[in-house]
Each structure stands twice: as structure tokens, then as C-alpha cells.
């Protein structure tokens, strides 16, 4: 489909705004109850839904739970089964780390271990960025290289950090199993190589885990490390080349900035805290005249879901609803609101459930949906879509696609 869209895409003056409410899809805490979206008081979203088209989106496929990387790739029109990238590369690029051919980047979580290395908290209580930097400094002092392979350690945010193993002549493989079991009450796993090229990398990862735990043994909360998302240098077709769009990314978290950068979007500077969102809105306003596509990312709808905090996730939805009039005041020709996956508070993790999709343009048909919720989206005229359908739909609604065939 990418090749077809590339042939049909054309430049127009219309502007597209894609708002990604990370992990926005949810579940009721009890059967028959309301989801977080349905519970939230969202007068602005309700009014917008009443003049928009709605539907549901499966980002990867039926029953498949998307990671944030595959979910976003799907939203941007890249088949996440074909275009695969590990979380490590996304995080590394997002914080400005240059990866060379043969290097492997790994996304890490600081964790809390107790007893016989039992995982108590996979996110170590979400430490502050300052505490993260303090721990990274301690690790850097103790781990500069392993078996002659240079090791670089970087702060990402909160509990997240990035490790880059620098290849020395022979490329390092990235096909190995996770250390993070994505569960509590169990021990971290041992990294195992899935091919010959990744044997050395698996040994490096396991040695790093051992050394890190020794260096952090006196820490009460941040005393373990969990790894997943190994990746070497990825390559993607350019977003601009496919869609003929001058695209900008407005995001705070490094992974999302990294993904946008890898597909060729300009990553704009954002001031202030994620919770306030004012910095993102200001960045959008300042750049409005320079671009014709904006990817606007909001993270905390996901974080609160991961924490299993239903009420907090509801409040994050309401916080977005409060700023929505500022986005609408810019008068985007096509506005899309969607999630990259569901993160129900009931599960406290990503899930396979489809996410609600909203598209407003001058060319929408009458729609039965009256709210931006999962149940209402099910009634919408867009139906159940694949994530890779979204960009063609936005392009069509912006009159940016030529007719196919005679």
C-alpha cells in the first residue's frame, strides 16, 4: 500500500493534525460498568464527536497486543509486521544518540528487587528524572566496557534508561530474548540468543545485569535492571517521500521522538512538564504555519493505565478535553484523535482491544456516534479498521490523494 500511496500523493494547502492519546482504550473495572473514556466528563470531545466520523482500530491484528513502537508505525502507515524496530533504537535516537552499523541499543527499566531477586516493581516506583540520572551516573562509573565491548548508558525518563553496546569490528546481533518478564513476583529472565550473531550480545546483556545489581545493591528501591527491545540501526521509507507531507512531531518522551525522527519527521522542541501540556500546545501554535502534518502525542493516558489507576486515567482524559478548544482554534482541515494501543487500568498493561478513532473533516458522512468512547465508536461510520488505513483516510479527507486508475 505504501507504494500505491506514494504514487497517488499530492501537495495541497490542507493541514492534518493527528492527536495520539497513548493507551487511551480501556475496560470497565466490573462487567456492565464504564470504561475510563466513558466515565470521563468530556464536553468538548462530545461536541467534536457529534460532528465527526468514528470507528475502532486494530493496530496490528485481531487479538495481538501492540507495543508502542508497532502501534505508532501502524498509525503512520507502516505495516508493523513488515517494518520492525526495537524499543532500544527508538529510545536511543529519541535522546540524540547516534547508532552505527553493528551497534545494539537496548531499552531498560530500573526495577525494585527483593528476596531472591524477586521483582517487586518493574518500574522502581517511577523514580524522578533526577534519581534516574543519579543511578545512571553510578552505573557509568562501574561499567564502561564488558569483554572489550564499549558500553554506553543514558537516562531516558523516570524508570527508563538506554544502553548501547558498541560493535568493535564484528557486528552485534539483536535477536535475543528479554530479561524483563513483564510480571512481578518472579525473577528476571536470562537473555538467550536466537541466532549465532546474537550470542555475544546475550552474554553482554547478562553480564551487565549481574554487574548492575552488584553496583546497586545498597539502593532500597532502584536496585535492579530489566531489558527488552534490542535493536540495531533501523531504516524506513521517508514519511515525506510517501505522503508528500512536511511533518512535525510534538512529543516529550524520547521513544516517540525517536520513532518520528526515524521516519523523517522534524521533532520540535517542547518546553515544560508533560502533565501541563501547555508547552506542547505552544509548540504547535508556533509551528502551525511551517508544516502541513502534525503528530501530537500525549503520554499520561497510558502511564496511569499502566499503574492500574482508573481515576487518574479518567482525569488525564479530562485534562485533554480541557485543552481541546485550543487545538480546534487552529482550525485544522483534518483532525484525527486516536490511540496507539489500549491500556486498561483493569489490566495495568497494554491490551489487544481496538482503540477508538475520530476523524473530522469537511467531507465526513453522517455518523451515529455522539461521544469519543469505545461503545460509541463501535456505532460509528468508519467501522473496524486496520491502523494502516488511517493515513490514507486522512490524506483523502485532506484532498491529498489523486484518483487511482483511469
Q: Which three cell numbers stand for residue 242?
A: 510517501
Query: What top-level class would CATH report for the domain 2-83+237-397?
Result: alpha beta
**Which segments in the chain show pLDDT lower than 70?**
273-276
Alpha helices in 98-198 (DSSP H): 129-142
Query: What's this model's pTM, rounded to 2 decimal places?
Result: 0.78
Helix (H, G, I), strand (E, B), or coil: what is residue 64? coil
Dihedral sign computed on CA atoms, order 93, 99, 101, 104 = negative
User: What pLDDT does residue 344 have?
Assistant: 97
Predicted local confidence at residue 273, as pLDDT? 67
CA distances from 161 to 206, 208, 245 (A): 16, 13, 32
| pLDDT for the residue 92 | 84
Note the pLDDT of residue 255.
81
- pLDDT at position 162, please? 93
> How many angstroms separate the Cα of 115 from the Cα of each of 119, 185, 223?
9, 10, 12
Can you give the residue ranges of every domain in the chain? 2-83+237-397, 90-231
Mean pLDDT of the chain: 93
State the pLDDT at residue 275.
64
Q: pLDDT tens for residues 235-273? A: 788 999 999 999 999 998 888 988 898 888 999 999 876
CA 118 and chain centroid, separation: 28
pLDDT value, residue 274: 65
Amino acid at each position: 500500500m505504501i507504494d500505491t500511496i506514494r504514487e497517488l500523493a499530492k501537495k495541497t494547502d490542507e493541514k492534518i493534525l493527528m492527536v495520539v492519546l497513548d493507551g487511551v482504550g480501556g475496560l470497565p473495572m466490573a462487567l456492565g460498568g464504564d470504561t475510563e473514556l466513558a466515565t470521563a466528563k468530556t464536553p468538548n470531545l462530545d461536541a467534536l464527536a457529534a460532528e465527526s466520523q468514528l470507528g475502532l482500530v486494530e493496530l496490528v491484528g485481531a487479538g495481538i497486543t501492540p507495543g508502542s513502537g508497532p502501534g505508532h508505525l501502524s498509525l503512520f502507515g507502516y505495516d508493523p509486521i513488515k517494518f520492525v524496530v526495537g524499543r532500544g533504537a527508538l529510545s536511543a535516537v529519541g535522546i540524540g544518540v547516534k547508532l552505527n552499523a553493528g551497534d545494539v541499543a537496548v531499552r531498560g527499566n530500573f526495577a525494585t528487587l527483593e528476596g531472591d531477586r524477586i521483582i517487586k516493581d518493574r518500574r522502581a516506583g517511577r523514580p524522578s528524572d533526577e534519581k534516574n540520572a543519579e543511578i545512571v551516573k553510578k552505573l557509568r562509573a562501574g561499567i564502561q566496557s564488558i569483554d572489550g565491548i564499549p558500553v554506553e548508558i543514558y537516562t531516558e525518563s523516570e524508570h527508563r534508561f538506554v544502553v548501547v553496546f558498541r560493535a568493535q569490528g564484528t557486528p552485534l546481533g539483536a535477536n535475543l530474548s528479554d530479561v524483563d518478564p513483564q510480571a512481578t513476583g518472579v525473577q528476571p529472565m536470562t537473555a538467550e540468543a536466537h541466532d549465532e550473531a546474537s550470542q555475544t550480545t546475550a552474554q553482554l546483556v547478562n553480564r551487565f545485569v549481574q554487574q548492575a545489581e552488584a553496583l546497586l545493591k545498597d539502593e532500597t528501591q532502584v536496585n535492579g535492571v530489566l531489558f527488552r527491545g534490542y535493536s540495531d540501526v533501523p531504516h524506513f521509507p521517508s514519511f515525506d517521500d510517501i505522503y508528500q507531507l512536511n511533518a512535525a512531531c510534538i512529543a516529550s518522551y524520547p521513544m516517540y521522538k525517536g520513532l518520528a525522527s526515524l521516519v523523517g519527521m522534524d521533532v520540535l522542541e517542547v518546553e515544560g512538564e508533560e502533565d501541563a501540556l501547555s508547552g506542547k500546545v505552544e509548540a504547535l501554535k508556533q509551528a502551525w504555519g511551517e508544516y502541513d502534518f502534525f503528530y501530537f502525542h500525549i503520554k499520561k493516558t497510558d502511564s496511569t493505565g499502566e499503574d492500574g489507576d482508573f481515576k487518574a486515567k479518567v482525569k488525564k482524559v479530562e485534562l485533554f478535553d480541557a485543552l481541546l478548544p485550543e487545538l480546534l482554534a487552529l482550525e485544522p482541515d483534518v483532525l484525527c484523535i486516536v490511540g496507539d494501543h489500549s491500556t486498561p487500568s483493569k489490566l495495568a498493561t497494554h491490551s489487544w482491544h481496538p482503540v477508538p478513532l475520530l476523524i473530522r473533516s469537511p467531507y465526513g458522512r453522517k455518523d451515529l456516534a455522539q461521544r469519543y468512547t469505545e461503545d460509541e465508536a463501535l456505532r460509528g461510520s468508519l467501522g473496524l479498521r486496520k491502523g494502516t488505513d488511517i493515513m490514507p483516510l486522512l490524506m483523502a479527507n485532506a484532498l491529498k490523494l489523486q484518483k487511482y486508475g483511469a
